[in-house]
Structure 1
Amino acid sequence: MTILYKIDQSLYVNVTNACPCDCVFCVRQDHESVGGCASLWLEHEPTLEEIISEFEKQDLNCFDQIVFCGYGEPLVKLDNVLALCKWIKARSQTPIRINTNGLADLIHKKETAPLLEGLVDAISISLNAPDAKSYVDIAKPCFGEESFSHLVHFAKMCNKVIPKVTFSVVDVITKEQLEACQQLADTMEIPLRVREMIE
């Protein structure tokens, strides 16, 4: 069972396979893993103790960053992620990043960005669409059209408490949609990164 995996000089943390979205471009639709590691499909949802046990096998200071990103939405397991960030921060200066779909507030029915303050150094939020309707078409969130406004609010709150916030989009959207995403990102003063779809 792959809980931790390495890509370049980053250590990735695969805390869950659960996700409230079913994005049309998601790599897990057609691939067992990324970056040449073993399958990222988990035999079971790992406990906090199991994840820490895997961390204890690593020299965390050897990595450029530790990234919560696997075959699921890491903030589904918010309590575990917070506990792991605290555990890492007590033992290492290695920066922590979270890759997220930005729907944690809907998942947990509360404001979640403030909980990340002081624990997370960077966060990448999958924007992927410029408006609620196209977001539903692309990301297929289980929460429906309200998802987009919650994503935008989450990003706004993250920008207040996390040093580095980035939006990302995958290059499957139209040029017009991409331009509209860029405009939204500029308005919010959040950098936008365009990612290539993994074939």
Structure 2
Amino acid sequence: MQNGTIVYLYGDSLYINLTNKCPNSCNFCIRNYTDNLGDADNLWLEREPSADEVLSRIKEEICEKKTTVDEIIFCGYGEPTERLEEIIDISRGIKEFTDKPIRINTNGMADLIHKKKTAHLLEGVVDAVSVSLNAPTAEKYCDLCHPEFGTESFDAILKWTEDIKKYVPDVRMSVVGVISEEDIQECRKIAENLGVKFRVR
């Protein structure tokens, strides 16, 4: 069986689908409703791609096809930081042939996933990070995202966001627009208190 799409175009960005693993099972997750996004045929992976495979596909788009993109983003049908070492290797490789900014879209649970501090490992590696907050309290987060790490997930996300802004220049928190306006505003306050940008997606 052919493996799923590992690099795909969506909007003005080039996306990297590194893994389908994720410690969350969010009610709103797009993978509950479709197998594809952008120009991807299928984002379900039979096997996870190597760093070399990903770099080869990105080179093909950027250097051979001369595809114009604004940004290169780690975001597929899983949590990218499940494969933190590959993110680091791929990002360093990308910087050898393009100056396009590199971003990670993450649930902010890298420390819980790897059972260690991880934010410092991304210094000089990626240019931006977007952390999915999606709820203003631990209880609401658990009800919406069903994290395998339970209620400690919420505080871990806030701590990781606080840490990552020391090492990455562009950090934002985001929420899905399906939550209530009251919860959106509470989440906005959390982002402001952490000193990072905020976006409703």
TM range (shorter): over 0.9
Is 1:111 paired with 2:114?
no
Aligned to 1:160, the other structure's residue is in SS state coil
Q: Which of 77, 82, 87 is the matching residue for 1:76?
A: 82
Q: Which of 21, 26, 29 is the matching residue for 1:23?
A: 26
Structure 1 runs (4+) greater than 4 angstroms displaced: none
Q: Which of 149, 155, 162 is the matching residue for 2:161?
A: 155
The 10-residue stretch of structure 1 (79-88 or 178-187) with the greater mean CA deviation from structure 2: 178-187
Is 1:135 paired with 2:141?
yes
Partner of 1:56 in structure 2? 59
Aligned to 1:161, the other structure's residue is in SS state coil
The 10-residue stretch of structure 1 (95-104 or 47-56) with the greater mean CA deviation from structure 2: 47-56
Please, what TM-score do these two structures have when normalized by structure 2?
0.93
Q: Distance in 1 between matches of 2:61 and 2:186?
A: 42
Alpha-carbon RMSD across the aligned residues, in angstroms, is 1.3
Work out the percentage of aligned pairs sharing the same amino acid. 46
Is 1:120 paired with 2:126?
yes
Is 1:33 paired with 2:36?
yes
**CA drift at 1:36:** 4.2
Aligned residues: 195
**CA drift at 1:56:** 3.1
Per-residue Cα deviation, 1:9-52 (whole angstroms, up to 9, x for no partner): 21100000110000000000010111242111112111223222
Query: Does the 8 A contact of 2:119 with 2:167 survive in 1?
Result: yes
**CA drift at 1:180:** 1.1
Q: Distance in 2 between matches of 1:92 and 1:36?
A: 22
Please, what TM-score do these two structures have when normalized by structure 1?
0.94
Q: Distance in 1 between matches of 2:39 and 2:91?
A: 26
Unaligned runs of 5+ in 2: none
Per-residue Cα deviation, 1:135-155 (whole angstroms, up to 9, x for no partner): 111111100000011100000
Unaligned runs of 5+ in 1: none
Partner of 1:185 in structure 2? 191
